[in-house]
Amino acid sequence: MKNLIRKIKGRTNLMIGGIIAAIVVVMAVFAPFLAPYHPVNDANLMFSEEPPGDPFWMGTDQQGRDILSRVIYGARISLAVGLICQILNTSIGVILGLTAGFFGKWWDDLVMGLTNIMLSIPPLIFALAIMAILGPGLVNVFLALGLTNWSFSCRITRSQVLFTRGLDYVKAAKALGYGRIRIMFTQILPNIVGPILVVATLGVADAILLEAALSFLGLGTQPPTPSWGGMLSSAREQLFTAPWISIFPGLAIFITVLGLNLFGDGLRDILDPHTTRSGKA
């Protein structure tokens, strides 16, 4: 435990990323208590496009709604999309990679062929194609993004399984009569969870970016629900006359994605036994 605490303290990227991620989580969970106004109902055209100041610390939008409140509530959408979509992606990738690496043969060739196809298609293009079929909406965003970015988890899992399945403890489990499913989920998977966790953490940031892009294009979260990407989309015409309407949700996306990437990078430094970086990030 002391060694782990020492490693965490020695990783500036992990500390900064963890703090940013914690702030976003707190914003999402306690949004009703932190937001000074309701993000949708408290609209007043008399305060339309008010610049930042007292009492609107981030200004107001075209409808006179408090931008700070909408940014705080927008954290709920971004965090929910990031976590749920990445849980779907990781589950699909781990199951395919685990079985492909363990069973091999034609199943491995099939999974790797499908993975290569997925890697050749940009996730945003694939998500747009799915959204064109399903239509706009938050639930459809979960489905679209939850099916587009599993290939990285799959390849990482497969490579770890190929290395692990020849180790002594796996051979001992086979000698004891363990079944294949039991070996995969009780012997191999717990010992390769580190790299998978790193990829999953970085994938949350990717999902948040993709959701913001879809909302910006009008295919994600629909107005008046506060979404960082949707706020950017609605502020395009006021980019020069009222820039604060787009600056603050843009900063929220940038800081959140940066924090999650730093957190994932720090996790990799700690969990990857082959890392060569020993100093502070």
Each residue's pLDDT tens digit, 205-241: 888 888 888 888 888 888 888 888 888 888 888 888 8
Of the listed ranges 65-69, 116-120, 274-278, the least confidently predicted one is 274-278
Please list, in sequence order, all residues whose beta carbon lies within 8 angstroms of the beta carbon of residue 243, skipping any fewer than 6 positions away. none
Instruction: Give the model's pLDDT for residue 274.
Output: 55
Range list of H helices, 30-66 = 31-34
Q: Which helix (H) or strand (E) holds 203?
A: helix 193-216
Give the CATH number of domain 11-30+67-271: 1.10.3720.10
Q: How confident is the model at residue 280 (pLDDT cuts 50, 70, 90)?
A: very low
Which value, in Å, is the radius of gyration of the alpha carbons in the chain? Answer: 22
C-alpha to C-alpha distance for 35 and 41, rounded to whole angstroms: 13
Q: How confident is the model at residue 278 (pLDDT cuts 50, 70, 90)?
A: very low
Q: What are the residue ranges spanned by the domains of the chain?
A: 11-30+67-271
Cα–Cα separations (whole angstroms), residue 273 to 44, 188, 195, 269, 276 = 56, 17, 10, 8, 9
Each residue's pLDDT tens digit, 156-166: 999 989 888 88
Of the listed ranges 21-25, 225-229, 240-244, 274-278, the least confidently predicted one is 274-278
C-alpha to C-alpha distance for 9 and 178, rounded to whole angstroms: 40
Instruction: Give the model's pLDDT for residue 111.
Output: 92
Instruction: Give the model's pLDDT for residue 53.
Output: 87
272 versus 92: which is more confidently predicted? Answer: 92
C-alpha to C-alpha distance for 165 and 174, rounded to whole angstroms: 10
Instruction: Give the model's pLDDT for residue 4.
Output: 55
How far from the centroid of its chain's Cα atoms is residue 159's Cα?
A: 22
Q: Do the Cβ atoms of 213 and 261 come closer than 8 Å?
A: no
